[in-house]
Structure 1
């Protein structure tokens, strides 16, 4: 699911799902992945679900492993954006889990409470970040300040500091240092930064 697309093939004119109208449903848009020629169309603007873009024409699907294809499981209607805290979510992943106590008889009569939960796994947060433009926000946090990838590289002119999800790849010729027992990664595709 994509929350944004491009109006032009050169991918210079960004178009957000939140700005779309019903008459935009018949227009073909371009996948945010510059290597993917999927034909993207507006969906969900009729109110049944959150407006989004999808490559729903069989003749023009996403390329294999495209971040905006079916592997992206982000659905805004299935999570609580207002209770999402990026730093807290990553801190919780670093802490050992505590055993939870389950009620013997679950209370099935709770009313008025939302069953929605904030994003809590790296995959959920990554899918949400990929679905949005790096300049958009999710609970007032800029997407590019949560995910370092090709789109957000310009937001890191002096380095990468603090908690971030980083889309990286193994360093060519020196992926694993056996003496130090370190894995070396580079990001984004320009290989501007090295992590180990």
Structure 2
């Protein structure tokens, strides 16, 4: 499940599902994962859920494709109004500075490996949650007031 896809098999011409209301039905799109050959179709449930792309049964996602998840998209799990990338990244970095290489990170942050889903809609609490959220969005879009590409390629997050 993805909120964006590509119009061409060579993974060019990115398109967001929310921008396809005027497109003719039955058109095929392509999975954003560079290693996945899935053909996608937009799914729009008249405002019940945000529009997204689903793989056609005849051309499914490859095994392990991150866009094959059937769960709610990360964008639906978090509250964009509470999302502040610079604050989140600062919190990650300050937690890392206070720990040594011999420290058990699970003991300091019990949720780091065990509780990957927030209990209620909030902000991502781990680097993995933040990455999963951002990779589901078109790189040219904005989330929390910051461009997605700028967050994914931020030199502090490497």
Counting strand residues as a fraction of each chain, which structure ranks higher?
1
Secondary structure of 1:88's match? helix
Give 1 or 2 for the bigger CA radius of gyration: 1
Secondary structure of 2:68's match? coil
Match for residue 144 of structure 2?
Answer: 139
- Measure how far apart 1:23 and its partner are: 5.7
State how far apart, in whole Å, the 2-side matches of 1:119 and 1:25 are. 35
- CA RMSD after TM alignment: 2.6
- Measure how far apart 1:16 and its partner are: 0.9
Q: How do 1:21-36 residues align onto structure 2 when only pairs under 5 Å count?
A: 21=21, 24-36=24-36
- Measure how far apart 1:76 and its partner are: 2.2
Q: Which segment is superposed worse, 65-74 or 23-32?
A: 65-74
State how far apart, in whole Å, the 1-side matches of 2:34 and 2:77 are. 28
Match for residue 76 of structure 1?
Answer: 75
Secondary structure of 1:54's match? strand
Match for residue 2 of structure 2?
Answer: 2
Match for residue 123 of structure 1?
Answer: 128
TM-score, length of structure 1 as denominator length: 0.59
- Measure how far apart 1:91 and its partner are: 2.5
Counting helix residues as a fraction of each chain, which structure ranks higher?
2
TM-score, length of structure 2 as denominator length: 0.72
State how far apart, in whole Å, the 1-side matches of 2:11 and 2:150 are. 22
State how far apart, in whole Å, the 2-side matches of 1:26 and 1:76 are. 25
- Measure how far apart 1:22 and its partner are: 7.1
Matched, 1:64 2:63: yes
Secondary structure of 2:15's match? strand
Match for residue 17 of structure 1?
Answer: 17
State how far apart, in whole Å, the 2-side matches of 1:36 and 1:9 are. 10
- Looking at both structures, which has the greater relative contact order when contacts are Cα pairs under 8 Å and sequence separation is at least 6? 2
